[in-house]
Structure 1
Amino acid sequence: MIRINQLKFDINHKEEDILLRICKKLKINKEHIVAYTLSKKSIDARKENDIKIVYAIDVTVENEEAILKDINDNNVMLTKEKIYTLGEVKINPIKERPVIIGTGPAGLFCALILAENGFNPLIIERGKPVEERIKDVNAFWKGKPLNPNSNVQFGEGGAGTFSDGKLNTMVKDRFARNKKVLETFVEAGAPSEILYYNKPHIGTDYLREVVKNMRKKLIALGAEIRFNTTLTNIISEDDTLKAIEVNDQEVIPCSHLVLAIGHSARDTFEMLYKNNITMDSKPFAIGVRIEHPQTLINKNQYGKHFSHPNLPVAEYKLTHKCKNGRSIYSFCMCPGGLVVNAASETGRIVTNGMSNYKRNEENANSAIIVTVKPEDFSSNEPLAGVAFQRKWEEKAFEIGGQSYKIPIQLVKDFIADTPSKTLGKVIPSFKEQKVLTNLNEALPKYVIESIKEGLYAFDKKIKGFAMDDAILSGVETRTSSPIRINRDETYQSNIKGVYPCGEGAGYAGGITSAAMDGIKTAEAIMAIKR
């Protein structure tokens, strides 16, 4: 197979133009081409008056080496298709079936690899199946009571089910684990374009179906999934796992336990700490969500082409080093998306963003967050970051009138440290209840000053970013896990048989990286060394 990189086209190009360009690059007639597929598609918008769509294309032809002899082009080369495989390795059997805690991407993909290799895992999820979970979340957004075990954070699919569904990752991948993740998603109903888009995303609407179909596949492969079931204790002897307890009553013999628990499983963190599982507090980031009209972002990115049908809605990624030494950056940017109430604990507010596949809502939103470190916390205890998060989430609950209304504020009022009284031109996207207030009261002073400086810095990169009427909502605290559960080169904690995994354990930062960590953890359980 021949890979052609950096094939650039005008945004108005047609599909037949691609075939003609391939023939020109390879110096062949189209009859010689057996097939071609897109390997990557990206947008080059560095010059807004000369926007290009850029492809990498894999071409199957006869006599590949003979064709390449006549071509002197660094962007044309032989390549081989990457396929995820365990290879010729011995898989070690285990006595009891492995138990996986959590059905987020880490848990699902760990379970999938184990199930595909005959291990029949038991998967435990504190929340409900995704169909029931959606009903609980929608009811909460309409003012019904919060269900602590069925919400934006907890339930089948994990927190990513209510997100933009971004699938890009910076994790280096020599073994095609990333491809395995993407192909599994497509098989489960995700759009096939995620296999080649430079910045793939599924959207929360597609993710719900993907998660449901993955559940069906796991069950067909021999896995068992138990919902409404919470890990409440682990039982060990001589630093070796013997069993687990669920729902404060049932004991299940267990020698291999995967902790794919997610970054909001605070009660589980506490239980593990009491059971002497070693962990450390780690840096994360907190801040607010900001909303602008999506057209503002599109115009900044694409200029006169801002509404062109061949261009996706524009995204941004912004960073700034503040005078106080803190870093501020945009995070989980949701073009054409919604800001949502992502609370999971009584008396605390946290926000997040999500988009459907089409990303066709009026506003763009993103977290604008500032790094915090263990030295910012009130103690040196491993769970001090959790206490830090809870403190500011409680403040947000208070300024919202001790309700679950999302506290919001206009940028101009936030900068002036005065409560907002009325909305401007930007209408908040979220459907749930909201309250105008002063977000300066719900974050540390060093975070507030960093956000204010960052807004002006980002306005220099995106004209209008610090517009008076842009909406801030808060607080955003669940950007990543506040802890890291220590594990060794075999992926086990200090208690043999316990495998910390994924984002909640501190080893991933998004859907794809968490899924890949789940795959690596499954390989470790099967004692496969790469």
Structure 2
Amino acid sequence: MPIKINNITINIDEDIEVLRNKVAKRLKISVNDIENFKIIKESIDARKKDLIKFNYAVEVKCSNELKVVNRINDKDVKIQEERHEEDFKFGTKKMAYRPVIVGMGPAGMFAGLLMAQKGYKPLIIERGEKVEERTDTINKFWNTGSLNTESNVQFGEGGAGTFSDGKLTTRIKDTRCDFVLDELVKAGAPEEIIYSGKPHVGTDILKIVVKNIREKIIELGGEIKFNNRLEDLIIKDKQLKAVIVNGEEIPCESLILAIGHSSRDTYEMLYRKDIFMEPKAFAIGVRVEHSQKLINLNQYGKYAEHPRLKAADYRLTHTTKATGRAVYSFCMCPGGKVVAAASEEERLVTNGMSYYKRDEDNANSAIVVTVGEQDFEGNTPLKGMEFQRHYEKLAYTLGGGGYYAPIQLVGDFLDDKVSTKLGDIRPTYRPGYEFKDLRKCLPTYVSESLKEGLANFDFKIKGFASNNAILTGIETRTSAPVKITRNDRLESISLQGLYPCGEGAGFAGGIVSAAVDGLKVAESLMKEYCPLY
């Protein structure tokens, strides 16, 4: 079994080739005794700005591994247990019809990939376009303000994550994460995502990866229908019998629902069908843009322009004294841009996006404030969704229509003044912007919380609340506004045959966690039913 060694450090100016020598020295063996060498984690230690280091965990094979580990008695050196996939038997029940998956975002895509690999021949329904056509549609929206409500930043092959920073970080501890990363690499993602402490892919590479996974699913016997929207469910005696897609009835006994967090018309249809859902807390706020050089300087000090370092990121949190609400950065995009992410007519939404190199001039992130059921009006499980709609409409109107975004310099926002001119930073949002008072499209408690949070963040990152920085409204799609409750078999508690999954069902937050949830739901089905081949 291989040996895992933690906490091997090299200085920023040392070549990575010295890593093998340091490992050999740590193990008290010759470099020539190392038979296999693999980096399993790389992270940057920038706590001391004048002494930035890289920290590694590595895995090696050599002769007499157990003897080597016992001889050196080092808590950071241990035998690495072999990784095993979850062992389960396929079910014996025969499917009357192939499984249907709604949504080709991370959850639906990975559920479909696994089921295709195991011989279940899934049918995947996606309301949006293939990623190639979707890219053209989105660019048209950004250039002209002409929105396609079926295919946009939220809907289409790859899901909302395809037009984001492509972050692959997750807090969940699940061996399925390894499967997700391995499959992404096989489909064209850089190998470094396997070991990077903060892996990301970027929109440009994600487009390639998504296309390759699609082709693999089809090659394995799956079928994918784009520009096809789930419109209704046919139910009898609390059992799913069929789905209506683009007016066509498709027999279906097992439906994996991976719709993403913005499929509001689908939520409404589920509510009409008495599918049990609960309102869920989320967060809303604005996008903030700074010079990437400012962030690099704050995070890396004198090494800000060092060639070994990539564009710096940040993660900021604050609990407000006045309201007790959390204010935090979300979906930070180094070297990226703020993008128009609307999916409904006359409702304005922003998001952040980066390419793999993260080499644009600006850094941006959402700065958001928690909101919950106590803030929503009404008594239906969709009241959080209606809350989102209300403030997105206000933002659209405030921007003057045409999906122009309201913007305000941070200093002016803190002083309750409408900005009249830009500083050194140019807004990246398209199709355009207007100087406005952002308080007019946010709840008062959110505006006040943002002010306190921004002031706090300025202590942590010098210049964060400078008047040069730009706020763009409005960010509302941090997570799903509902949770579609499910049982131990990951099936809806109110409809047999319906398997809600991923971010849209309230069970994930981000590309990897959504993909993992898709895998879990697929496995649940495979434990009950036998393959179709």
Partner of 1:483: 482
Give the drift of 1:14.
1.2
Choose the corresponding residue for 1:260, options 223, 243, 258: 258
Identical aligned pairs, as a percentage? 54
Partner of 1:273: 271
Which has the higher mean CA deviation after the structures are superposed, 351-360 or 140-149? 140-149
Change beyond 3 A, Cα 1:510–1:37: same
Structure 2 CA distance, aligned partners of 1:419 and 1:363? 22
Partner of 1:42: 43
Partner of 1:309: 307
Which has the higher mean CA deviation after the structures are superposed, 183-192 or 409-418? 409-418
Give the drift of 1:144.
4.4
- Over aligned residues, Cα RMSD in angstroms? 1.3
Give the drift of 1:88.
5.4
Q: Which runs of 4+ in 1 moved over 6 A?
A: none
Give the drift of 1:320.
0.5
Structure 1 CA distance, aligned partners of 2:173 and 2:26? 30
Which has the higher mean CA deviation after the structures are superposed, 428-437 or 415-424? 428-437
Structure 1 CA distance, aligned partners of 2:121 and 2:21? 50
Secondary structure of the 1:148 match is coil
CA contact (8 A) 1:92 1:526 kept: no
CA contact (8 A) 1:289 1:368 kept: yes
CA contact (8 A) 2:281 2:481 kept: yes
Partner of 1:501: 501
CA contact (8 A) 1:484 1:506 kept: yes
Secondary structure of the 1:114 match is helix
Structure 2 CA distance, aligned partners of 1:250 and 1:87? 35
Structure 1 CA distance, aligned partners of 2:24 and 2:146? 62
Is 1:188 the equivalent of 2:187? yes
CA contact (8 A) 1:165 1:204 kept: yes
Is 1:510 the equivalent of 2:510? yes
Secondary structure of the 2:504 match is coil
Which has the higher mean CA deviation after the structures are superposed, 119-128 or 29-38? 29-38
Give the drift of 1:380.
2.3
Structure 2: gaps spanning 5 or more residues: none
CA contact (8 A) 1:6 1:54 kept: yes
Structure 2 CA distance, aligned partners of 1:414 and 1:344? 27
Partner of 2:399: 400
Secondary structure of the 2:61 match is strand
Structure 1 CA distance, aligned partners of 2:463 and 2:528? 52
Structure 2 CA distance, aligned partners of 1:27 and 1:305? 33
Q: Within 5 A, what are the aligned runs for 1:119-198?
A: 119-173=120-174, 176-198=175-197
Structure 2 CA distance, aligned partners of 1:69 and 1:91? 47
Q: Within 5 A, what are the aligned runs for 1:93-492?
A: 93-173=94-174, 176-247=175-246, 249-323=247-321, 324-492=323-491
Structure 2 CA distance, aligned partners of 1:486 and 1:30? 54
| TM-score normalised by L of structure 2 | 0.97
CA-to-partner distance for each residue in 1:2-50, whole Å, 9 max, x for gaps? 0010001101111331111011011111111111010000001111111
Change beyond 3 A, Cα 1:225–1:86: farther
Structure 1 CA distance, aligned partners of 2:200 and 2:312? 13
CA contact (8 A) 1:245 1:252 kept: yes
Structure 2 CA distance, aligned partners of 1:164 and 1:156? 16
Give the drift of 1:86.
4.1
CA contact (8 A) 1:35 1:60 kept: yes
Give the drift of 1:132.
0.3
* Matched AA of 2:518: G
CA contact (8 A) 2:10 2:16 kept: no
CA contact (8 A) 1:141 1:431 kept: yes
Structure 1: gaps spanning 5 or more residues: none
CA contact (8 A) 1:93 1:526 kept: no
Give the drift of 1:72.
1.2
* Matched AA of 1:444: P
CA contact (8 A) 2:319 2:327 kept: yes
CA contact (8 A) 1:262 1:504 kept: yes
CA-to-partner distance for each residue in 1:459-502, whole Å, 9 max, x for gaps? 11111110011000010000000000010001111100000000
CA contact (8 A) 2:403 2:431 kept: no
CA contact (8 A) 2:229 2:245 kept: yes
Give the drift of 1:269.
0.1
CA-to-partner distance for each residue in 1:367-386, whole Å, 9 max, x for gaps? 00000001100112100011
CA-to-partner distance for each residue in 1:429-452, whole Å, 9 max, x for gaps? 234322221111010000000000
Secondary structure of the 1:142 match is helix
Give the drift of 1:314.
0.9
Give the drift of 1:297.
0.8
CA-to-partner distance for each residue in 1:136-181, whole Å, 9 max, x for gaps? 00001011410001110011100001000000101121xx200000
Change beyond 3 A, Cα 1:205–1:398: same
Secondary structure of the 1:152 match is coil
Structure 2 CA distance, aligned partners of 1:19 and 1:116? 37
Secondary structure of the 2:450 match is helix
Structure 2 CA distance, aligned partners of 1:135 and 1:144? 13
